[in-house]
A and B are shown apart, each in its own frame.
Chain A
């Protein structure tokens, strides 16, 4: 894992919106690297650029200037469909609002990314069931989103994100819609996935006690990285 280019590298990434008087510098020269197996928290006040950074990391947006290298490949040069393929094959997304499909069962939600990979139904089902087991949702496979609690919906979303065995899991405020107890459950689940499966995890959060779970914290302020600290203390409450 140590050899070859890092998983993710931002080289002087800038993202500007608008022009002239209304020019907004959402990201104004950001450099960092993420290597395989890391557990990162990205923090910062709203408007600091962390969402923009997340969109670029997720290949949903492209830098105005600078380079985003994913395993050494410059994402800025890829077409829309190429970026979609990258998301399909290497990225897992977890959102604040869960974003499960309505009127669709947990199992079907988890199978969806595999459908786009063109996997055979039998194998798809097996993998989806395994992912649901991994997030502790055994027995809830055939519940639709409306029949699940917030914490359970977020677990389904995590299962959907990890079912493709992505290179990195990108979680945007995954605990933002959950109460404290559920939030800690979700963070413990992400920690377990990081430690036990070696899954690289990046969590955007504004709650310091959620960031505690990560081993490294990036703090954004005004489109810059204000601090990038590794957590010395390994023990997690």
Chain B
């Protein structure tokens, strides 16, 4: 009996294909949006955590600004100086490497080839803290770092763009106005969490970048690497204490800089995505509600149109619950059909988005199941009232209905 009711409902939906399609559009859009965003969000979360854990072993990042934890507003503070970097390197025993960084956007030119890129001025330890390997040539010598000589180490994609198959070692490029000799090439890391090319940059001695490009002695960012994973907490405390002292932060006043480790970064990034997911759920709930009202509306129309049919069924022996089930099944079939189409569209959109943003496609079977069950539930909730109305029709009146 259930099976024939399902078949009947299917036929009824197919007979009114356009109407059925328009009716479930709300549910399709709602479910598709949620599935697409949650799947993309899941991929982004996975990718961000993956990237952050790939930043470097036991990485600690120190920047001269604080973030208001409630508003998210970034409050700038005086920049670091090379002496701060030096102090951390010499006084904090729980770190194995420290690197100060200044970044500027420049045009890199070699012969006829040129490309917009970023020059990261840095000192010793950058390769270690950021976990970069020099795969061709060599890294900077202490003498080069001290004197700020015009030498540089290329990122893999910059090397590819400017030199192709040719070996870049010993060649001279211009970074903006500054000529630089290429002494090494870095390994390739691919695209970042946000889709940008991580290999499109060039390393140069910090001294060179400060003197010839940024024009100040400021250090914008300090990377440090804790000796061991266990030492990370101690390293953060020591760095914080040292910088408070050097920056004359009085006891009781908050830090005017931020020290984060990669775990906190990962949490920060994924918590942002969590908020996003919450918003999406709210949107989903609203669109399912609107979709459900659409279904209720069309089911009421359908009951009125089929009054005579209901009368015939009641006359030949259908019980109230048979008629109720028939219309309920039709509503549930309609809504879960919408849900299924929505899921497929959502996954297709997420797949396209993921490949476009070069992110992994993480299929969450849980959310797919929830989306399907919710759309079926919408059918039950909003189909019940019209179905009950159909079941309680007076057979005499219904048979007389034209």
Contacts and interface: CB of A to CB of B under 8 A. Distances in A.
Interface of A: 55, 58, 60-61, 80-81, 84-85, 87-89, 91, 93, 95, 99-103, 112-113, 115-118, 160, 164
Contact of A115 (B4, B319, B320, B321): B4
A102 B1 CA distance: 20
Given A60-B395, A61-B396, A99-B308, A93 B319 contact: no
B315 A93 contact: yes
A100 B311 CA distance: 11
Contacts of B319: 81, 84-85, 116
Interface string B373-402: 000000000000000000000011001000
The 3 closest A-B pairs by CB, nearest first: A88-B317, A113-B316, A87-B317
Given A61-B396, A103-B15, A116 B317 contact: yes
A112 B316 CA distance: 8
B314 interface: yes
Interface string B119-148: 000000000000000000000000000000
Given A84-B317, A87-B316, A99-B308, A115 B1 contact: yes
B327 to A, nearest CB: 15
A102 B305 CA distance: 12
Nearest to B402: A97
B322 interface: yes
Given A81-B321, A103-B11, A113-B317, 5 more contacts: A60-B395, A85-B317, A101-B312, A102-B309, A115-B4
Interface string B289-321: 000000000000000000011011111111111
Contact of B312 (A91, A99, A164): A99
B315 A60 contact: yes
B1 A116 contact: yes
Most chain B beta carbons < 10 A, residue from A60, A88, A113, A117: A60
Interface in B313-358: 313-322
A184 to B, nearest CB: 26
A164 B312 CA distance: 15
Residue among A84, A99, A100 having the largest count of chain B Cβ atoms under 10 Å: A84
A62 B273 CA distance: 64
B309 A84 contact: no
Interface residues of B, number: 21
Contacts of B318: 84, 88, 116
A41 B56 CA distance: 97
Nearest to B321: A81
Contacts of B308: 99
8 contacts: A61-B396, A80-B320, A81-B320, A81-B321, A87-B316, A88-B317, A99-B311, A113-B317
B325 to A, nearest CB: 11
Contacts of B312: 99-101
A112 B326 CA distance: 13
Nearest to A80: B320
Contacts of B322: 116
Contact of A118 (B1, B11, B314, B320): B1
A10 B180 CA distance: 114
Contacts of B1: 115-116, 118
Interface string B78-95: 000000000000000000
A87 B315 contact: yes
A160 B313 CA distance: 12
Nearest to B12: A103
A128 B64 CA distance: 86
A229 to B, nearest CB: 29
A112 B315 contact: no
A99 B322 CA distance: 19
Contact of A116 (B11, B316, B395, B399): B316
Contacts of A60: 315, 395-396, 399
Contacts of B317: 84-85, 87-89, 91, 113, 116-117, 164
A112 B396 contact: no
Nearest to A160: B316
Contacts of B4: 115
A102 B320 CA distance: 21
A202 to B, nearest CB: 15
A237 B318 CA distance: 39
A201 B323 CA distance: 28
Given A115-B1, A115-B4, A58 B315 contact: yes
Contacts of B399: 60, 95, 99
A112 B309 contact: no
B15 A112 contact: no
A61 B399 CA distance: 13
A112 B310 CA distance: 12
Interface in B1-52: 1, 4, 11, 15
Given A95-B399, A102-B309, A84 B15 contact: no
